[in-house]
Structure 1
Amino acid sequence: MNSEIEKIQNKEYSIKYGVVFNESWNLFTKLIGVGALAVILYSFASFLVNFLLESLTGFRNVTNEFMMDIQGIQDPNVLLYEVQDFYMEHMNTLLITRLGTEFVMLLAFPLAGGFMMVCRELDKNGAFNIGTLFEGFKPQYWSRLMVLAVIYFFISKIATVFFVLPGIYIWVAAVIACPIVMFTNASGVQAFTTSIKLVNKNWFTVFQILFVASLIGIAGYLLCLVGRIVTYPLVLVTVYMLYKHIVGFQENEIEEIGHS
Structure 2
Amino acid sequence: MSDFNEFDQQGSAPNRDTGSIISHAFEMYKGVFLYALVVMIIYIIGDSIIKSISGFNSYTNYSDFKDFDEDAYKEILFNRPGMTLYYSFTGLFTILLSPLFVGLIYISNKFNTKIPVEFSDLFIGYRQNLGNILLYSLITNIILTIAAMMCVIPVFFVFPLFLLGYPVLLFENANAMDAISKTYNIAKENYGIFLGTGILSALISISGVLLCCFGLIFTYPFIYIAMYSVYCAYLGKPRQITYK
How does the TM-score come out when normalised to structure 2? 0.80
**3-state SS of 1:127 partner:** coil
Give distance in 2, aligned partners of 1:40 and 1:133: 13
Give SS of 1:109's match.
helix
Query: Runs in 1 of length 4+ with deviation above 6 angstroms?
Result: 76-79
Aligned-residue RMSD, C-alpha: 3.0
Look up the equivalent residue of 1:198 and give its one-letter code.
Answer: I
Aligned to 1:39: 40
173, 180, 184: which one aligns with 1:196: 184
Q: What corresponds to 2:12 in structure 1?
A: none
1:1-260 map, 5 Å: 15-52=16-53, 54-55=54-55, 80-81=67-68, 84=73, 87=76, 90=79, 94-138=83-127, 140-162=128-150, 164-249=152-237, 253-256=239-242, 259=243
C-alpha change, 1:219 and 1:158, in structure 2 (3 Å) is: closer
Match of 1:109, as an amino acid?
A: S
Q: Which runs of 5+ in 1 are unaligned?
A: 1-13, 68-75
Residue type of the alignment partner of 1:154:
I
Deviation string, structure 1 residues 28-83 (Cα, Å, up to 9, x no partner): 1112111111111122212212332x14xxx57xx9xx99xxxxxxxx889845x9
Q: Percent identity?
A: 18
Displacement after TM superposition at 1:185 (Å): 2.4
Alpha-carbon shift at residue 189 of structure 1 (Å) = 1.3
Alpha-carbon separation, structure 1, partners of 2:217 and 2:64: 35
Instruction: Answer yes or no: is the 8 Å Cα contact 2:32–2:104 preserved in 1.
Output: no
The 1:125–1:226 alpha-carbon spacing in structure 2 relative to 1, beyond 3 Å, is: same
Partners of 1:118 and 1:213 lie apart in 2 by: 19
Q: 1:212 to 1:106 in 2, by over 3 A?
A: same
Give CA deviations for 1:145-191 in whole Å, capped at 9, x if unaligned: 11101111222222333464543332110121011100112101111
Structure number with the bigger relative contact order (C-alpha 8 A, sep ≥ 6) is: 2
CA drift of 1:126 comes to 4.8
Unmatched runs of 5 consecutive residues or more in structure 2: 1-14
Give the aligned length: 226
Question: Is the contact made by 2:168 and 2:174 (CA closer than 8 Å) also made in structure 1?
Answer: yes
TM-score with structure 1 setting the length? 0.75
How far is the alpha carbon of 1:96 from its aligned partner? 4.4
- 1:229 is paired with a residue whose SS is helix
What is the CA-CA distance between 1:86 and the residue it aligns to? 7.4
Q: What is the match of residue 71 of structure 1?
A: none
Relative to structure 1, the CA distance from residue 202 to residue 155 in structure 2 (aligned partners, 3 Å threshold; closer, same or farther) is same
Q: Does the 8 Å contact 1:46/1:105 carry over to 2?
A: no
* Aligned amino acid, residue 91 of structure 2: E
Aligned counterparts of 2:173 and 2:183: Cα–Cα separation in 1:
14
Q: Quick one: distance in 2 between partners of 1:249 and 1:161?
A: 36
Q: Report if aligned partners of 1:148, 1:189 keep a CA contact under 8 Å in 2.
A: yes
Q: Rate the CA distance shift 1:90–1:78 in 2: closer, same or farther, 3 A.
A: closer
What is the match of residue 9 of structure 1?
none
Alignment-derived partner of residue 3 in structure 1: none
